[in-house]
Structure 1
Amino acid sequence: MAADPLKILVYSDNARTREKVRSALGKRVHPDLPELSYLDVATAPVVVTTIDEGGIDLAILDGEATPTGGMGLAKQLKDEVATCPPILVLTGRPDDAWLASWSRAEAAVPHPIDPIALGEAVAGLLRAAVD
């Protein structure tokens, strides 16, 4: 029997960014992990409500989203949600990794999205989450 898909929340105000994330990760990020399912979210209030309700295995937040950036949103989620899933932040540039660390995100990948770097980061976070 196949494992239930892992649910990935992808937040960005830009539909193209959300599409790039889904395209980079595909249906399965690694053969050892279950398939992925995606929930696209364009607004911060929906992210907060959805994470608070539970059932999300990983949140990918766009640090360049407006009006609420993913780093501030990551910090808010980590501060306010007791059972917050792992968070990966998409940063504007590699030098912004320190901001992602401040936000308490478990990982950061810079724009433009590199499918290999994103896949490796997501696989690492999901392995830790399902173990």
Structure 2
Amino acid sequence: MQPTATVLVYSDDSTTREQVRLATGRRPAPDVPVVEILECATPAAVIKELDRGGIDVCVLDGEAVPMGGMGMCRQIKDEIFNCPPVLLLIGRPQDAWLATWSRADAAVTHPVDPVEFASALASLLRRKNLQNV
């Protein structure tokens, strides 16, 4: 049985969640586990799933409503013990400083570029796997 990694994707926009799912594929790189996507459309659902545990990486939409991914990232970094790494989707490259403020581990621009996104996600999954060894 192949190891799997659970990636939580938060966006109120189903199209954004689909772009993330398609860019991820079965696995974003050959040297990382097969990915299982867990979709959340509300901040409450994100907190519920993180409290439940088992999340390896979070992908948060910076443009989500009613709470953007940057605010959500900052909140979970403060409130969730051993918070998983966060990949933030930002609207413009100039928003990278906001991703830093939110304490995101990585950021890519939206709309999702499949190659850039898969590379960033794979990097966070590798880092998570090294921490668990």
TM-score bin (small chain): over 0.9
Q: Which amino acid aligns with 1:20?
A: Q
Unaligned segments of structure 1, at least 5 residues:
none
The match for 1:2 is 2
Q: Give the alignment's Cα RMSD to 1 decimal.
A: 0.8
TM-score normalized by the length of structure 1: 0.97
1:43-54 → structure 2 map (5 Å cutoff): 43-54=42-53
The match for 2:114 is 115
The match for 1:40 is 39
1:39-81 CA-to-partner distances (Å, cap 9, x unmatched) read 0100001101111221000000000000110000000000011
**What is the percent sequence identity of the aligned residues?**
53
C-alpha distance in structure 2 between counterparts of 1:66 and 1:108, whole Å: 18
Does structure 1 conserve the Cα–Cα contact (< 8 Å) formed by 2:86 and 2:105? yes
TM-score normalized by the length of structure 2: 0.95
Q: Which amino acid aligns with 1:37?
A: E
1:13-57 CA-to-partner distances (Å, cap 9, x unmatched) read 000000000001100111111100000100001101111221000
Q: Count how many residue pairs are aligned between Structure 1 and Structure 2.
A: 130
Structure 1 stretches (4+) deviating beyond 4 angstroms? none
1:1-131 → structure 2 map (5 Å cutoff): 1-3=1-3, 5-131=4-130
Q: Which amino acid aligns with 1:115?
A: P
Deviation at 1:2, TM superposition (A): 2.1
